[in-house]
Amino acid sequence: MNKPVVIHWFRKGLRLHDNPALLSALEKVGESHYELRPVFILDPWFVKHARVGPNRWRFLIQSLQDLDNNLKKIGSRLFVVKGSPLEGFKKLFKEWNVKKLTFEVDIEPYAKIRDEEIKQLAEKHSVTVITKVSHTIYDLEQVFKANGNKAPLTYVKFQSVVAKFGTPEKALDAPGNLPKQCQTLLLSEDYNVPLLEEMRVDLTGLGKELFPGGESEALIRLNKYMNQQEWVCKFSKPDTSPNSIEPSTTVLSPYLKFGCLSSRLMYHRIHDVIAGRKHTSPPTSLTGQLLWREFYYTCGAYVPNFDRMEGNPICKQIPWKKDPEDKHYLAWKDGKTGYPFIDAIMTQLRTEGWIHHLARHAVACFLTRGDLWVSWELGQQVFEELLLDADWSLNAGNWMWLSASAFFHQYFRVYSPIAFGKKTDKHGDYIKKYLPVLKKFPSEYIYEPWKAPLSVQQKAGCIIGKDYPKRIVEHEIAVKENLAKMKEAYQGHKEEGPEKEIAKRKKAPSKDSSPKITKFLKKK
């Protein structure tokens, strides 16, 4: 009989540090250890059909390569198994003498179903299954229970619930050199991490690689930011910029999404930095950002149909346009709306895979209630494909927020696709970087090139309507029409609507509401 084996199944949680399920795979059983076989399952169906752009494939493969290297350093390796999880485990349970299976809890609905299937299969093969919570700081089931078996639906409520739990437990260390009996003996190349070329991932069209995947890179990036004590203490999200040339926030999101970085480690590192010093507080502080993540994760775990409008009890039912061939939607997706701020953001998203939070606000508002009246679900799909950090709960939750479908109800606060970007980038350097066709445009017209006289366009070498699109809608008109439609949709939900708030203000929404937004953002 082959040596008894324990499989640690990596899905998210692509790291060695703070990985309680991996550590439990290494625990002694009686007097001895099992041989460790860390597995990642790459489903060919997923490779072909999932909404994952080339940037995120690259990030994932790099993360797996890094994981494999780090495992090799401690006497193990990664086994990449091709097939569906069910087929994969059927094969492994047959071929290897598997006694134990460990993995991290995943709250996403499809993952819960998948994991249940694997648990049942394991039971049939007398394989013990151990699961641990480590993708989030808090155990979301505990949050749910502590809130009377409901997801807390506001950030403040969420904070009050988790306050009862006290300080989160410290992050665990990565395992050191494995005891001899745990070390991985099977060296077959059949299970090597595939190369991007083998997967036929087409990288043409991508920009410079700015955020390589993997735990090693995540820890370097975390250290880089945590070494900037003053920056961490003063961090306040609304004061960061959507259109700076260098990112004004950490860009740790892709690493948190794939679990290359533990959120618990990040939480404690921030707290070590701010301890005993004057610092900002949630919701705007850096800790506050991590709590937004926990908040949306809890909602995602417990609100039915969280990623769609229909059947989602917290989502306003709004008659959005839902045609994936809609020409306005396609123009938005391709960065061809004729609004340079919007198009620059969408170009950064497609080529680099990360955009600032407020840039996400601007394009999400533009697509939905601001200008184009297109469903947030279609916007969510584009983000799902193109973001390096595409994260099921966070993506859905934030899209609902921005479209004023849930969580946020002041639908009359609309971002101007012209004035908002100007506040932090008067001369449009960001636009010029991502839309070089406009690089010779004078600052005066860079946010509204359609206003430039023909002579100016000729001098800049860019004719609007020929070299760069004419704007697809007139913001001033679209915003008024959409506000009326939002009002109507909200009237169908009087009990939750912002009518009282509107009555208090007794003011028509201004054409350009971005100054008001700054005030509101101070709260976020």
Do 407 and 401 touch, CB atoms closer than 8 A? yes
Per DSSP, the three-state class of 243 is: coil
Return the residue of 118, 162, 402, 472 that touches ligand FAD, per CB under 6 A.
402
Least distance from ligand FAD to the Cβ atom of residue 187, Å: 36
* Residue showing tokens 């007139």: 474
**Which CB, 359 or 479, lies closer to ligand FAD?**
359
Q: In the bound complex, what is the minimum distance in angstroms from residue 310's beta carbon to ligand FAD? A: 19
Of 28-36, 385-393, 458-466, 485-493: span binding ligand FAD (CB under 6 A): 385-393
- 197-205, 393-401, 413-421, 504-512 -> range binding ligand FAD (CB under 6 A): 393-401
Give the range of 48-56, 124-132, 252-260, 342-350 binding ligand FAD by CB under 6 A: 252-260
Using CB under 6 A as the binding rule, whether residue 445 contacts ligand FAD is answered as no
What residues form the annotated binding site for FAD? 249-253, 289-296, 389-391
Residue type, 19: N
Q: Which is nearer to ligand FAD, 26 or 378 (CB)?
A: 378
DSSP string, 23-91: HHHTS-BTTB-PEEEEEEEE-HHHHHHS---HHHHHHHHHHHHHHHHHHHHTT---EEEES-HHHHHHH
Residue 445: which residues within 8 A CB-CB, separation 6 or more? 451, 452, 456
Q: Which of 389, 425, 448, 512 binds ligand FAD (CB under 6 A)?
A: 389
Could you give the CA distance from residue 479 to residue 321 in angstroms, rounded to a whole number?
Answer: 15
Alpha-carbon distance 318 to 364, whole Å? Answer: 15
> Measured between alpha carbons, how far is 362 from 475 in angstroms, rounded to an integer?
13
User: Which stretch, 17-25, 109-117, 286-294, 333-341, contacts ligand FAD (CB under 6 A)?
Assistant: 286-294
Ramachandran assignment for 113, one of left (phi > 0), alpha (psi -120 to 50 degrees), beta (any other)? alpha
Longest dimension (CA), the chain: 84
Output the CA angle 77-80-84, nearest 5 degrees. 150
List the x/- string, 354-383, binding to ligand FAD by CB under 6 A: --xx--xx--x------------------x
Minimum distance, C-beta of residue 402 to ligand FAD, in the bound complex (Å): 5
d(CA 457, CA 446): 11
Question: Taking a C-beta distance cutoff of 8 angstroms, is the pair 138, 164 a contact?
Answer: no
Number of CB atoms found within 10 A of residue 154's CB? 10
- List all residues 6 or more positions away from 134 whose beta carbon is below 8 Å from its beta carbon: 13, 18, 19, 20, 21, 104, 105, 259, 262, 264
Tokens encoding 456: 């100016």
249 interacts with ligand FAD by CB under 6 A: yes
The HSE-up count of residue 101 (CA atoms within 13 Å, CB side) is 27
Interface with ligand FAD, residue 347, by CB under 6 A? no
- For ligand FAD, the closer of residues 67 and 251 by Cβ is 251
Q: How far apart are CA 253 and CA 355, in angstroms?
A: 11
Q: Report the residue number, 252 or 479, with the smaller CB distance to ligand FAD.
A: 252
Which member of 135, 264, 279, 293 binds ligand FAD (CB under 6 A)? 293
Considering CB under 6 A, how many residues would be counted as binding ligand FAD?
A: 28
| Closer residue to ligand FAD (CB): 296 or 412 | 296
Q: Which stretch binds ligand FAD (CB under 6 A): 51-59, 117-125, 395-403, 496-504?
A: 395-403
Nearer to ligand FAD, 184 or 393 (CB): 393
- Residue 251 is a binding residue for ligand FAD (CB under 6 A): yes
Bond from prior residue into 283 cis (ω within 30 degrees of 0): yes
CB of 248 to ligand FAD, least distance (A): 8
CB of 524 to ligand FAD, least distance (A): 8
Specify binding-site residues.
249-253, 289-296, 389-391
Q: Which of 452, 267, 243, 456 is nearest to 357 (CA)?
A: 243
Residue at token pair 């004023």: 404
Q: How far apart are CB 188 and ligand FAD at their closest, in Å? A: 36
Among 63, 65, 398, 513, binds ligand FAD (CB under 6 A): 398
Q: 14 or 251, CB closer to ligand FAD? A: 251
Q: How far is the CB of 382 from ligand FAD (least distance, A)?
A: 10
Residue 36 binding ligand FAD, by CB under 6 A = no
- Pick between residue 147 and residue 249 the one whose CB is nearest to ligand FAD: 249
395 binds ligand FAD (CB under 6 A): yes
Residues contributing to the site for ligand FAD (CB under 6 A): 237, 249-253, 256-257, 289-290, 292-293, 296, 356-357, 360-361, 364, 383, 387, 389-391, 394-395, 398-399, 402
